[in-house]
Structure 1
């Protein structure tokens, strides 16, 4: 299997299947929660849609990244969280309904916001002058086909099926799509490992710094606004965990620039390190509630 066929054909189909699985897991009530808890949703969306791209730009200005690596980092900051963030929210015992709502809304916005803002980013980095451009409507159409359409299809299928059928089918679909996504990421890693930057490189530093600083920002901001603890955990995950698969699809399949997709590929792999540390920390805190109480008293 060639790397180009894997990136330009298999990856979009696997992403579509992941979004279909997410649509199957959505209910109408997931969106009505926005009306009941608008503050939590607005905080999460503001951090993900506005603060995260600005944070990526801060790193681009501070670190001596090559132009295409900088573009890859900015591209990662523009994609939604995806099903992976929902899984991690579940593991940290976060507000899963909030996580799903944030993923769904960001996923609906991304096809329209990503090509527009990424086009500006390419101009600001001076890449547009070198012939690198992202056609807006063509990109919107392809992203809609891979993200929004499968998600809506999944929601429609859920309405047609009995609830017990969905309860039986959904775990199988999630496992299948999860395994397929991991397999594609590993295959892409193996196919492009000779082009990936070394482990000790500025690109690796940028990827880890973006993930850690995004999670820290999400945690501190939500906590200082005195949101419920489970919402704080969910927002922390949602801001840091990005659907790198969409960023890779834009780079590999739409722009056909493998060198642009290397940083998103690196992010998809390395983001698991700080996120799993956060999972272990949350599990440890939940098992030692007295430590949490003592910590709160010291902070106060």
Structure 2
């Protein structure tokens, strides 16, 4: 299968279907309780929108990354979370409503902030050129079509389908879109295997540090602000898990720069390692606490 067809045609459609599935899962009640606690929203959104790009720049300054790899890492820091972060929040028994709210805020803002900030990043990295640039409104339009519009479409369809149909459709949609996204990432990985850096490389280190440090930052700040246990976990996941599919689409489809897209592709694969380890640690701790409580 042609790498160009995968990135130019299939990736935007699969990404849009994943975002629409997320919209089908959203209801007004998901947001009502969360917005009564604006401090949690403000912390999570600030970490995603402000702290994460600054963390990425810190890694770019400290690590000897190539300009294109640095651009890929900075691009990952600018994309919103996605259905993956909501799934991890659910699995780790975090505040799912908070997770969904933070994902939704990022999905609304990212189409407008990403092309602007990424354009500046390319200039700072001295790799901006007429061939390598993000035309602002064109990029905004494409991002809206594959992120915000599908989410809103799913939310509008939700009340029209009815409870019975939703209960039958949603599990199947989740499985299908999840398989499609995993399959696409695997296909992109295979098609670009010769260009991908070794798993023992500076790019791998940058990706893993980005994920681990962002999760640690979210976790520690949320704990220091004495947020509820479930909110701490939701913020940890939302800050640490980015939507690599959006970053890949920007790199492969809009910029048409596989060199930039390889780091988001690597991130999409490797971010699961620290997240799964942390998730299992949380679940083990929950079992230990439950056992201690039962004995008491």
**Structure 2 counterparts to residues 164-243 of structure 1, below 5 A:** 164-243=164-243
RMSD: 1.4
TM-score, normalization: structure 2?
A: 0.96
Deviation at 1:31, TM superposition (A): 3.0
- Match for residue 43 of structure 1? 43
Distance 2:269 2:237 in 1: 15
TM-score, normalization: structure 1?
A: 0.95
Deviation at 1:165, TM superposition (A): 1.4
Contact 1:30 1:97 in 2 (8 A): yes
Which 4+ runs in 1 deviate beyond 3 A? Answer: 290-293
* 1:275 aligned onto 2:275: yes
Distance 1:180 1:168, change over 3 A: same
Distance 2:149 2:206 in 1: 33
- Match for residue 14 of structure 2? 14
The aligned length equals 293
Distance 1:90 1:154 in 2: 20
Distance 2:37 2:161 in 1: 29
Distance 1:110 1:159, change over 3 A: same
Distance 1:29 1:104 in 2: 14
Deviation at 1:292, TM superposition (A): 9.3
- Match for residue 150 of structure 1? 150
Deviation at 1:131, TM superposition (A): 4.2
Deviation at 1:199, TM superposition (A): 1.1
Distance 1:53 1:291 in 2: 40
- Match for residue 60 of structure 1? 60
Question: What whole-Å deviation, never above 9, does each CA across 1:236-290 have from its counterpart, x for those lacking one?
Answer: 0110111000000000011111111000000000000000001100110100017
> Structure 1 regions of 5+ residues with no counterpart?
294-300
Distance 1:8 1:129, change over 3 A: closer
Contact 1:40 1:227 in 2 (8 A): yes
